[in-house]
Amino acid sequence: MNILENISLKAYNTFGIDKKAKYFSIAHNLEDLIALLKWAKSYEEKVLILGGGSNILLTQDLNCLVIKIEIMGITLLEETPDEVLIEVGAGVIWHDLVLYTIDQNWGGLENLSLIPGTVGASPMQNIGAYGVEIKEVFENLKAVDRNDFSVRKFESADCNFGYRESIFKHEFKNQFVICSVTFRLRKSPDFKITYGAIQQTLQEKGVNELSLKAISDAVISIRKSKLPDPKEIGNSGSFFKNPTIPNSEFEKLKENYPDIPGYKNEEGTKVPAAWLIEQAGWKGKRFGDVGVHQNQPLVLVNYGNGSGEDIVALSKKIQMSVFDKFQIELSPEVNFL
Ligand code: FAD
Ligand code: EPU
């Protein structure tokens, strides 16, 4: 057990915020993880679990033990003529898993190509993109209870998955460490290409025959054209969730803003936060070292030495101005620490 002290977390979060961890260690397997959790308990230190740091905003030094999860491995548990069940270590890089499954010709994850971060974090907010969320391919997960160090299995119904939501962000917040996730993938393809610009991109690329790889490549090129690469500009993807408002409110807004985009769902109409933020005048605005991205206003960025506090302050101003203009509340997707 190698526990480092006073470590900068700048390289461990995609916003590139320079805050420190009092203690820092890496868990390569379940035994490491349990030993570290026991160490923290015996010294009465708090614990923060870290994957790829692509959905956190550091607003202060962390007076705790940061455990970075690097539990690896992909195990084929079951195979039928139609499906496979694979158990994947929480530390596996999400996009590496996607590419591996495409190589095996196992379908289900292709629309989720190029999402940063780790497999262990994927159930936290039920990651989603291009018309697919992981709940559709999720079978179960194993997690260590931070109180008694037992390993517990969660089936899909136990996780309360919703849009960017799960039980692990609410009732079970900071109670479990996810150590593996099991996915059920298809050997016979079920291509989903109706969302956004996938179909158009496939046409532009001259794809005549659909394949998992062709869809993944199309998603990758759309994402590269829209989202800033955290290696170049610090960011955490969409900073806010897309709000769903009652259909009646949407119709009222449409009278004043005939161009307002909206997508009906079971609860009402989902309005793109990017549109609301752009209309409120924030797109491309820069304030010192932080700002609102010029192509995708839902992404707040750190140009270099911005602080978490600067980003929080900017996000609050955006929330207030969107509320003043549209009476719609934006909720952050990013986890503030
Ligand atoms: P971290 O940021 O390290 O952690 C996130 C949260 O999960 C923290 O609260 C952490 O404590 C907790 N956590 C992490 N690992 C574990 C574990 N093993 N057990 C228990 N708790 C854990 N998200 C989408 O859904 N769709 C997208 O299209 C998308 N696009 C993005 C694009 C960019 C450019 C960026 C930077 C981010 C994007 N995101 C997207 C957000 C992010 O990639 C996901 O939320 C991802 O799952 C975070 O993984 P991570 O390993 O980096 O988690
Ligand atoms: N828009 C504008 N101005 C812009 C850009 C976009 O008005 O400058 C409007 C347009 O109406 C556009 C709409 O916003 O049609 C949607 O934009 P986009 O397709 O870029 O998607 P998004 O709603 O911004 C969501 C997810 C992404 C996910 C993509 C693709 C959320 C909060 N974000 O983004 O997830 O990759 O769809 O499915 O749901 C993330 O969670 O971090 C993330 C990047």
How far apart CA 300 and CA 306 sit, in angstroms, is: 11
Task: Tell me yes or no: is domain 4-69 CATH 3.30.43.10.
Answer: yes
- All CATH 3.90.78.10 domain ranges of the chain, comma separated, are 234-336
The DSSP result for 20-84, as a single string, is EEEEEEEE-SHHHHHHHHHHHHHTT--EEEESSSSSEE--S-EEEEEEEE----EEEEEE-SSEE
327 burial level (CB within 10 Å; 0-12, 13-18, 19+): exposed
- All CATH 3.30.465.10 domain ranges of the chain, comma separated, are 74-186
Overall average pLDDT of the 248-258 stretch: 97
Residue of 47, 96, 124, 226 with the most ligand 1 atoms within 8 Å of its CB, for mutation? 124
- pLDDT digit string (tens) for 59-118? 999 999 999 999 999 999 999 999 999 999 999 999 999 999 999 999 999 999 999 999
Longest dimension (CA), the chain: 62
pLDDT range class, residue 196, cuts 50, 70, 90:
confident
Query: Ligand 2, atom 32: nearest CA belongs to which residue?
Result: 241
Average pLDDT of the chain, as a whole number: 97
Cα(236) to centroid(ligand 1), Å: 9
Percent of the chain with pLDDT over 90: 99
pLDDT at position 110 is: 98
Ligand 1 proximity of 66 Cβ (cutoff 6 Å): no
Query: Ligand 1, atom 35: nearest CA belongs to which residue?
Result: 237
Whose atoms come closest to the Cα of 9: which ligand?
1
Residue 180: which residues within 8 A CB-CB, separation 6 or more?
Answer: 71, 73, 87, 88, 89, 90, 119, 120, 141, 142
The answer, yes or no, to whether residue 1 has pLDDT greater than 90, is no
- Closest atom, ligand 2, to C-alpha of 283: 8
- pLDDT digit string (tens) for 87-101? 999 999 999 999 999
Percent of the chain with pLDDT over 70: 100
Question: Which region holds residue 189: left if phi is over 0, alpha if psi is between -120 and 50, else beta?
Answer: beta
**Helix and strand tally (H, E) in the chain?**
7, 20
Query: Ligand 2, atom 34: nearest CA belongs to which residue?
Result: 238
Q: Which fold has domain 74-186?
A: 3.30.465
* Residue 290 three-state SS: strand
pTM above 0.95, yes or no: yes
Residue of 115, 168, 198 with the most ligand 1 atoms within 8 Å of its CB, for mutation? 115
Task: Tell me yes or no: is domain 234-336 CATH 3.40.50.1980.
Answer: no
pLDDT at position 27 is: 98
Query: Known catalytic residue: 333?
Result: yes
Nearest to 15 by CA among 55, 70, 62: 55
Please state the φ and ψ torsions of residue 273, each to the nearest 5 degrees. -60, -30
pLDDT at position 107 is: 98
pLDDT at position 245 is: 98
The answer, yes or no, to whether residue 189 has pLDDT greater than 90, is no
Whose atoms come closest to the Cα of 240: which ligand?
2
pLDDT at position 236 is: 98
How far apart CA 278 and CA 256 sit, in angstroms, is: 16
pLDDT at position 87 is: 98
- pLDDT digit string (tens) for 133-168? 999 999 999 999 999 999 999 999 999 999 999 999
Query: Known catalytic residue: 232?
Result: no
Query: Known catalytic residue: 309?
Result: no
pLDDT range class, residue 313, cuts 50, 70, 90:
very high
